[in-house]
């Protein structure tokens, strides 16, 4: 039998469960969705359709079609303040997940270590394990807004440490790293020759006062040897099913990742890349209502949760997730742990969430608010009933 190094993704398992429950006609409220409920904008679909009809259905450049890499470079330069950004700094990949896998497969040999501050996005440790490398998870505290500092990284460092991976805004917390801390972490990575994989998937979906800072905006082109930015169209443009993302870094890193990609994926579909590039021109009109809706939903969630005893949380600044610490409820209701909490919430109230331990955050659960305000209110009532009963 082939080796079985990893378990399947818990978030995707929950999504599958929701599909099955809905198919059985159950009145389920799902807070499990890891994708925006806004559809891919019609213009983007029409552009892709037009491109296909015009014959853009063949292999294209492995690195990504020039029109998309030009658009990405312009965006990093003008909006994300990466003054040196140019098309050679980008590789188009099959979604952020494949970008992370590709990057780690280039960086790690078997037995190498990857630092992962917890709570982390569910698939980071799984990807590392799939490569026979070793995930080293670092506990953080709610009081530190769930971010690791340089002292913690230094303590965890060994001669086998090759990379550090983190997201801002984070999944499952929705929290954003402060510029000062990010700068300190980047300097530490450079000193220790550890690659920072900075997952910026939700960077356009922010609603707090904090402004997103791209890790690449804090380094020169030469220093970008140690920084990889990973991003995708998935969440921002409601394009999860298109599997279209990119990695940005030093040209030497991108050249090697492109070689590697030419052996494992060939290229992403040209019609999808052209359509996505055109979407970038219309981003403000597409995203304005989406960000506003998520911001309103976040307010509803915060209000709903604040009235429940035994529940602690930090207000998300971006993405569409919130991590809810329910240690108080678990203790009061005599539950085994967060998995037990999530399972009983599902059985007793037909509310689907994801257990915090999937993200390295025991005693909590994750709510995704990528759903209508009515559904959110209905789900919150059920969560409240469960917690106080
Ligand atoms: N990073 C984070 C933080 C995520 O939440 C996700 C979820 N989809 C991914 C990466 C993977 O994104 P994609 O769908 O573009 O592969
Ligand atoms: N990233 C989403 C989530 O965290 C989608 C599912 C997945 O790719 O794991 O739920």
Per-residue confidence band for 214, with pLDDT thresholds at 50, 70 and 90: very high
In the reported structure, the alpha carbon of residue 96 is separated from the centroid of ligand 1 by a whole-number distance in angstroms of 5
pLDDT, residue 284, reads: 83
Which residue has the CA at smallest separation from atom 4 of ligand 2?
34
pLDDT, residue 367, reads: 97
- Flag whether 14 is in a domain: yes
pLDDT, residue 296, reads: 97
CB distance 144 to 384 below 8 Å: no
Distance CA 115, CA 119 (A): 12
Q: Give me the mean pLDDT over the 228-233 stretch.
A: 98
The reply to whether 35 and 84 lie within a common domain is: no
Give the ligand whose atoms come closest to the C-alpha of residue 268. 1
Residue at which a domain ends, from 231, 263, 282: 282
The reply to whether 51 and 25 lie within a common domain is: no
Give me the CATH number covering residue 118: 3.40.640.10
Q: Give me the mean pLDDT over the 138-146 stretch.
A: 91
- Beta-sheet pairing, 227-232 with 195-199: parallel
Beta bridge partners of 195: 163
Distance CA 380, CA 276 (A): 35
- CA angle (116, 194, 157) in 5-degree steps: 60
For residue 49 the two structure tokens come to 């359709």
- Flag whether 3 is in a domain: no
Give the ligand whose atoms come closest to the C-alpha of residue 96. 1
- Flag whether 2 is in a domain: no
Give me the CATH number covering residue 294: 3.90.1150.10
- Flag whether 1 is in a domain: no
Res 17 pLDDT > 90 = no
In the reported structure, the alpha carbon of residue 352 is separated from the centroid of ligand 2 by a whole-number distance in angstroms of 14
Is the C-beta atom of 239 inside 6 A of ligand 1?
Answer: no
Which residue of 7, 11, 319 sits with most ligand 2 atoms within 8 Å of its CB, as the best mutation to test the pocket?
Answer: 11
The reply to whether 318 and 352 lie within a common domain is: yes
Q: Give me the mean pLDDT over the 215-220 stretch.
A: 98
Prior bond of 320 cis (ω within 30°): no
Q: For residue 221, which of 87, 85, 81 has the smallest C-alpha distance?
A: 85
pLDDT, residue 164, reads: 98
In the reported structure, the alpha carbon of residue 84 is separated from the centroid of ligand 2 by a whole-number distance in angstroms of 32
The reply to whether 257 and 228 lie within a common domain is: yes
Mean pLDDT of the chain: 96
- Flag whether 5 is in a domain: no
Res 218 pLDDT > 90 = yes
Q: Give me the mean pLDDT over the 179-192 stretch.
A: 98
Distance CA 357, CA 372 (A): 26
Query: Which residue range(s) make up the domain with 329?
Result: 10-40+285-388
Distance CA 292, CA 80 (A): 21
The reply to whether 18 and 77 lie within a common domain is: no
Through-space distance between the first and last CA atoms of the chain, rounded to whole angstroms? 47
Question: Left, alpha or beta for 360 (phi > 0: left; psi -120 to 50: alpha)?
Answer: left
The reply to whether 257 and 297 lie within a common domain is: no
The reply to whether 334 and 272 lie within a common domain is: no
Residue at which a domain ends, from 261, 282, 303: 282
pLDDT, residue 282, reads: 86
Distance CA 270, CA 264 (A): 17
Q: What is the pLDDT of residues 259-268, one digit of tens each?
A: 999 999 999 9
The reply to whether 55 and 159 lie within a common domain is: yes
Beta bridge partners of 229: 198, 248
Total domains in the chain come to 2
The reply to whether 114 and 36 lie within a common domain is: no
Q: What is the pLDDT of residues 95-129, one digit of tens each?
A: 999 999 999 999 999 999 999 999 999 999 999 99
Per-residue confidence band for 242, with pLDDT thresholds at 50, 70 and 90: very high
pLDDT, residue 191, reads: 98
Residue at which a domain ends, from 251, 282, 313: 282
Residues in Cβ contact with 75 at an 8 Å cutoff, skipping those fewer than 6 apart: 280
The reply to whether 257 and 294 lie within a common domain is: no
Q: Give me the mean pLDDT over the 69-91 stretch.
A: 97
- CA angle (307, 318, 71) in 5-degree steps: 165
Res 285 pLDDT > 90 = no
Distance CA 120, CA 181 (A): 17
| Runs of H (alpha helix) within 24-94 | 42-53, 66-78
- Flag whether 156 is in a domain: yes
In the reported structure, the alpha carbon of residue 201 is separated from the centroid of ligand 1 by a whole-number distance in angstroms of 7
pLDDT, residue 354, reads: 96
In the reported structure, the alpha carbon of residue 11 is separated from the centroid of ligand 2 by a whole-number distance in angstroms of 5
pLDDT, residue 283, reads: 86
- Flag whether 4 is in a domain: no
Distance CA 96, CA 234 (A): 8
pLDDT, residue 33, reads: 87
Prior bond of 30 cis (ω within 30°): no
Give the ligand whose atoms come closest to the C-alpha of residue 232. 1
The reply to whether 145 and 240 lie within a common domain is: yes
Beta strands in 279-379 (DSSP E): 312-313, 321-325, 351-352, 354-355, 364-368
The reply to whether 301 and 210 lie within a common domain is: no
CB distance 261 to 268 below 8 Å: no
């Amino acid at each position: 039998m082939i080796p079985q190094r990893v378990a399947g993704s818990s978030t995707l398992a929950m999504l599958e469960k929701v599909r099955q429950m809905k198919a059985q006609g159950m009145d389920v409220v799902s807070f499990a969705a890891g994708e925006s409920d806004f559809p891919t904008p019609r213009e983007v679909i029409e552009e892709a359709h037009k491109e296909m009809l015009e014959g853009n259905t063949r292999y294209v450049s492995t690195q990504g079609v020039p029109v998309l890499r030009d658009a990405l470079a312009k965006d990093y330069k003008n909006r994300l303040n990466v003054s040196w950004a140019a098309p050679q700094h980008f590789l188009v990949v099959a979604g952020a997940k494949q970008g992370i896998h590709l990057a780690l497969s280039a960086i790690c040999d078997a037995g190498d270590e990857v630092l992962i501050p917890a709570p982390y996005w569910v698939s980071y440790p799984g990807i590392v394990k799939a490569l026979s490398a070793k995930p080293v998870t670092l506990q953080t505290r709610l009081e530190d807004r769930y971010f690791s500092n340089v002292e913690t990284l230094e303590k965890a460092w060994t001669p086998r440490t090759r990379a550090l991976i983190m997201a801002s805004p984070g999944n499952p917390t929705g929290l954003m790293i402060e510029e000062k801390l990010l700068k300190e972490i980047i300097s530490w990575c450079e000193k220790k020759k550890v690659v920072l994989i900075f997952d910026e998937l939700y960077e356009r979906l922010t609603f707090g006062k904090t402004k997103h800072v791209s890790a690449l905006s804090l380094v020169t082109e030469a220093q970008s040897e140690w920084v990889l930015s990973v991003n995708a169209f998935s969440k921002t443009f409601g394009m999860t099913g298109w599997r279209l993302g990119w990695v940005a870094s030093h040209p030497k890193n991108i050249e090697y990742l492109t070689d590697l990609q030419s052996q494992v994926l060939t290229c992403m579909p040209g019609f999808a890349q052209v359509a996505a590039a055109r979407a970038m021109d219309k981003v403000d009109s597409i995203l304005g209502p989406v960000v506003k809706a998520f911001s309103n939903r976040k307010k509803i969630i915060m209000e709903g949760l604040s009235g429940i005893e035994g529940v602690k949380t930090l207000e998300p600044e971006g993405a569409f997730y919130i991590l809810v610490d329910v240690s108080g409820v678990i203790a009061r209701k005599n539950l085994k742990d967060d998995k037990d909490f999530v399972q009983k919430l599902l059985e007793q109230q037909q509310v689907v969430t994801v257990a915090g331990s999937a993200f390295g955050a025991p005693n909590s659960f994750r709510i995704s608010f990528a759903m209508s305000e009515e559904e959110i209110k209905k789900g919150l009532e059920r969560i409240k009933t469960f917690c106080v009963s």
